[in-house]
Amino acid sequence: DTEVTQTPKHLVMGMTNKKSLKCEQHMGHRAMYWYKQKAKKPPELMFVYSYEKLSINESVPSRFSPECPNSSLLNLHLHALQPEDSALYLCASSQDRTGFNSPLHFGNGTRLTVT
Amino acid sequence: GENVGLHLPTLSVQEGDNSIINCAYSNSASDYFIWYKQESGKGPQFIIDIRSNMDKRQGQRVTVLLNKTVKHLSLQIAATQPGDSAVYFCAESRIGSFKTIFGAGTRLFVKA
């Protein structure tokens, strides 16, 4: 079992819907990430939060809106998505990387289908 | 630009044999390298990492080798088991950076 929990596991939404993906970790990690993974491709970085502040936005369209309410929670709000946004959305966490490196701990993802 | 790639997209091995998965990277500034395993329906799982001041690191049944001269990384799995069947990603990063760049991935098939 992963120590990063993502809900829901599966989500089907229409292009006019608003939905949210949720992620939770209790490892005390202060960096949290959203990745997008298309079938048979590697994960691609979307956002990074460090100490609950947005640190990196990899030029992600505004229809994806991240939120970090506290050090354990990370949300991704979805609005007016396109069918090409269908993918596996992965949440990850790591120790603060200032001055050193640490591996990412991934959840099992939310499989999103946009119809 | 930055690129982390793999020589072979698929690898098929007999159960009990050793597996070697290779990876090439092009960013000489990278100083931290990681291998992840991703099983079907799951997120990537950390296997082993290595820093650029080392050329070999061993874990339980796994060994990572780093050759900075030719920018090459490999993952060796000893006595491969059916449970090792998965997609393996190499990844690279730099000290202080939140960015991790993943290679294309290699699918490992273990034949019983």
Question: What residues contact residue B2 under an 8 Å CB cut-off, 6+ apart?
Answer: B26, B27, B92, B101
Q: What span, in angstroms and rounded, lies between the C-alpha atoms of B30 and B73?
A: 12
CB of B97 within 8 Å of any CB in chain A?
yes
Give the model confidence (pLDDT) of B55-104 as tens digits.
999 999 999 999 999 999 999 999 999 999 999 999 999 988 899 999 99
CB of B40 within 8 Å of any CB in chain A?
no
Half-sphere exposure of B93 (CA within 13 A, CB side): 23
Asked if A4 lies within 8 A of B43 by C-beta distance, the reply is yes
pLDDT band per the 50, 70, 90 thresholds, residue A96 = confident
* CB neighbour class for A16 (10 Å; exposed up to 12, middle 13-18, buried from 19): exposed
Backbone φ and ψ for B35, nearest 5 degrees, come out as: -110, 135
Give the model confidence (pLDDT) of A3-36 as tens digits.
999 999 999 999 999 999 999 999 999 999 999 9
Q: What span, in angstroms and rounded, lies between the C-alpha atoms of A74 and A76?
A: 7
Task: List C-alpha distances in Å: B67 to A88, B56, B89, B102.
Answer: 33, 9, 17, 18
Asked if B102 lies within 8 A of A55 by C-beta distance, the reply is no
* Residues of A contacting chain B (CB within 8 angstroms): 2, 4, 31, 33, 40-45, 48, 50, 55-56, 90, 92, 97-101, 103-109
Could you give the 3-state DSSP secondary structure of residue A3? coil
Write out residues 54-73 of B within 8 Å (CB-CB) of A: none
For testing contact with chain B, the best of A88, A104, A108 (most B CBs within 10 A): A104
Which residues in chain B have their CB less than 8 angstroms from residue A87's CB?
none
